[in-house]
Structure 1
Amino acid sequence: MSESVGIALRFALYLDLMLLFGMGLFGLYGLKASERLSGAVLNFKGWLAGTALLGMLLSMASLLVMTRAMSGEQEWQALGPHLQMMLWQTEFGLTWMLRIGVLLVVALVALTGAMWPSASLWLATWAVEAGQYTLACRALRRSLSVEFGAVLLILGLVAWLGTLGPMASG
């Protein structure tokens, strides 16, 4: 029974993360700038924040089910020490905390209405053309920090995908 619950949770989590990633890409590449405003075509803030929050809930449930399965503990109330060990002493716990952190950032960015990363670069280009170099430097700095964050995210995803290979072959 617990194996099927774990499999169903993992499947639901993967579907949620694919939906979150796909909606973000659709908004970035599939819509014009005026259509990207939340509510013009689709309520992006609500959908992105909702799928990120659902991903956090599914991740928490997955952690509980995995800890219960690995520890052999039958009582949910007695999982405290096992959860602590699972989070701080295993790679699963480290990747779980990383996933929760990324989902939290996505939810916060969606709820606060942050602009798309490319907007900073366009702002920098416009500011240079208008002769406002201070604004251009600020926009370029913001764009570079977003790009650096994207590089770190891509490296994390590559590392995560690399861990899936041995599981698929075994």
Structure 2
Amino acid sequence: MDDWLSIAIRFALYVDLLLLLGLPAFALMNRTTLLSRSDAQLNVRRFVLGAAVIGLLISASSMLVLAKAMSGVTQFSELSQHIFEMILMGTDVGIAWVVRVVALSAIVIVTFAVQRHTASSHGVVAALAAIALATVAWSGHGAMDEGARRYPHLIADILHLFAAAVWVGALAAFAMLLRRAKTPSFDQLVGLSRALAGFAMVGTLIVVTLIVTGAVNYWLTVGLSLSPLVSSQYGLLLLAKLCLFFAMLGLAAANRYHLTPRLEQSIDRGDTRAAVKALRSSLVLETGAALLILLLVAWLGVLSPSAPL
């Protein structure tokens, strides 16, 4: 039961923090689409504030579960102040938790203080969100390494998280733009088309980063052998994650090389309904695959890579 609770909390934290970094990062890269309209600015501001508050609540829940697991008590009511002080002051994961809470609290303060989001305020939020997201690496397998392997593993984990955040943030941003495009104006469709086309180069860098850091993480966690992929629960879940990743890659390629040019052509013709519908369906599938990957990552985080089936 505790494992499934831990998985659920990890999953919720991944989704929240990836979006909290990814959406402002996308907004910075596409100012003409998300920052040019007051309604979009308002949506982003509300989302950032809500995600930061939710992140604080999830972090509080994660600390309760962590304290229960590390102390060995059977009930949450048995937890004492001393246990929390020991974790927060005496462990790396506790210090990382404090840094995350401070960063998320700062995002809440910044969001309240800035009524109209600008590029600079989005930059501040993205930087604070990056700090909050980076702390998640200290609750993964990289934090278990010692010596010369520890910091390369943590850096690879953090870069992997950052790349995933930009991809997930882009999916969320495209969903916002498509929702506004239910009864689209010409300007809205042009903005959507430009955002899709402009993400192509960034998307390539994201894929390269995910593949390289994923390979480094596998090597540092499991080793050079591929046999664990079929001989352990960890390996089978990792294989499922890879299949979903390549499915996302295929959908992203279809968006880039087929659906985006189709949207551009439909704008020229003046009939965009079919193109928007096809793009929306593709992004729904891609988002669903991304959520399943995050669920698998949360599950992998509580498993021992060396444990056999």
TM-score for the superposition, normalised by structure 2: 0.39
AA matched with 2:112: L
AA matched with 1:98: V
- Identity level (%): 33
Q: Is the 8 A contact 2:34 2:41 kept in 1?
A: no
Q: Residue deviations 1:135-156, cap 9 Å, x none?
A: xxxxxxxx9xx7xxx5xx67x9
In 1: Cα distance, 2:121 partner to 2:108 partner: 19
1:117 aligns with 2:108: no
Change in CA separation of 1:93 and 1:163 when aligned onto 2, cut-off 3 Å? closer
In 2: Cα distance, 1:72 partner to 1:102 partner: 29
Q: Is the 8 A contact 1:67 1:86 kept in 2?
A: yes
In 1: Cα distance, 2:11 partner to 2:44 partner: 23
| Residue 52 (structure 2) aligns with | 52
In 1: Cα distance, 2:121 partner to 2:70 partner: 44
1:27 aligns with 2:24: no
Q: Is the 8 A contact 1:38 1:45 kept in 2?
A: no
Kindly tell me the number of residue pairs found equivalent between the two proteins: 140
Q: Secondary structure at the match of 2:68?
A: helix
Q: Is the 8 A contact 1:38 1:44 kept in 2?
A: no
Change in CA separation of 1:163 and 1:53 when aligned onto 2, cut-off 3 Å? closer
Once the 2 structures are TM-superposed, how far is the Cα of residue 87 of structure 1 from its aligned partner? 1.1
Is 37-46 or 84-93 further displaced after alignment? Answer: 37-46
AA matched with 1:96: W
| Residue 73 (structure 2) aligns with | 73
If asked which structure has higher relative contact order (CA below 8 Å, sep 6+), I would say 2
In 1: Cα distance, 2:37 partner to 2:107 partner: 17
The alignment yields a C-alpha RMSD, in angstroms, of 3.3
Once the 2 structures are TM-superposed, how far is the Cα of residue 6 of structure 1 from its aligned partner? 0.6
Q: Is the 8 A contact 1:45 1:111 kept in 2?
A: no
Q: Is the 8 A contact 2:93 2:138 kept in 1?
A: no
In 1: Cα distance, 2:62 partner to 2:94 partner: 11
In 2: Cα distance, 1:34 partner to 1:93 partner: 36
Change in CA separation of 1:94 and 1:36 when aligned onto 2, cut-off 3 Å? farther
AA matched with 1:109: V
Change in CA separation of 1:163 and 1:54 when aligned onto 2, cut-off 3 Å? closer
In 2: Cα distance, 1:61 partner to 1:105 partner: 19
Once the 2 structures are TM-superposed, how far is the Cα of residue 165 of structure 1 from its aligned partner? 5.4
Q: Is the 8 A contact 1:13 1:55 kept in 2?
A: yes
Which structure 1 residue ranges, 5 or more long, are not aligned? Answer: 120-142
Q: Is the 8 A contact 1:49 1:106 kept in 2?
A: yes
In 2: Cα distance, 1:78 partner to 1:3 partner: 19
